[in-house]
Amino acid sequence: MLEVDAINTFYGDSHVLFDISLRVAEHEVVALLGRNGAGKSTTLKTIAGVLAPRSGEIRFAGSPIQGLTSYVIARRGLQLVPEERRIFITLTVEENLKLAALNAAQPKAIDEIFAIFPRLRERRRATGGTLSGGEQQMLAIARALIRSPRLMLLDEPFEGLAPVIVEELVELCGHLAESGSTIVIVEQDVRAALELARRVYVLNNGHVVFQGTREALLANPGITSRYLGLDPETENVLEP
């Protein structure tokens, strides 16, 4: 579904991604992990066309997409759910969803979205600015999902949310994964990310320092301690 080969991305003169390569298969959930500033969000933005790599190649469903505008990439079925959520706060939940579906090739019915997000059905006439943080994140994911994406990029979907809301969103994303969605997730909450992903890339200072299965990561305390800040003596993230 997604092949990223040796991309290098810059902010002005600052080199921030160094020969990043990764693969995502159809129906797979992959996590990008690492400390703040490791390059995770920059990687997602580069894949989605928000940033253009200076070198390297990105192929989506077999076709090169590097250098294309973000809206062209989105129309091909790749949806970025940004860290900032960026919902329209003066529009209602329903209006946000209808707007997202306007130019989608095969949009889902809004009732299908509400079946996945019953809380949004309850709040369908509420404006985005009146939603809680968890509800706004649900809307951000729902807005991507209504476009029937082939691949979703989730950037810090659980940031700043109460643990009970994180649990609810993890369960929701788990249902999406079980139904066959292809997802790349960037998340500081390692436990939440690894509940969803079965394969992991760890980034540090713009370089890939680990790639492998969730089980291989959890069996490597040197990586989890050095690059994820987990104490192998006291923190049992998940059973390998």
Beta strands at 55-60 and 63-64: parallel, antiparallel or unpaired: antiparallel
The per-residue pLDDT for 223 is: 92
pLDDT in single tens digits along all 240 residues of the chain: 999 999 999 999 999 999 999 999 999 999 999 998 899 999 999 999 999 999 999 999 999 999 899 999 999 999 999 988 889 999 999 999 999 999 888 899 999 999 989 999 999 999 999 999 889 999 999 999 999 999 999 999 888 878 888 888 888 888 888 888 899 999 988 988 998 899 999 999 999 999 999 999 999 999 998 999 876 554 555 543
Do the domain assignments include residue 106?
yes
What are the percentages of helix, strand and coil residues in the chain, rounded to 5? 35, 25, 40
In this structure, is residue 5 part of a structural domain?
Answer: no
- 145 occurs within a structural domain: yes
CB atoms within 10 A of CB 51: 20
> In which domain, by residue range, is 141 found?
88-149
Q: What amino acid is encoded at 158 in this protein?
A: F
Residue 156 lies in a domain: no
Tally the domains of the chain. 1
In a domain, 9, yes or no: no
Considering the domain boundaries, does residue 178 fall inside one?
no
**Dihedral pair phi/psi, residue 19, rounded to 5°:** 50, 45
Q: Is residue 114 part of a domain?
A: yes
CA dist., res. 228 & res. 191, Å (int): 11
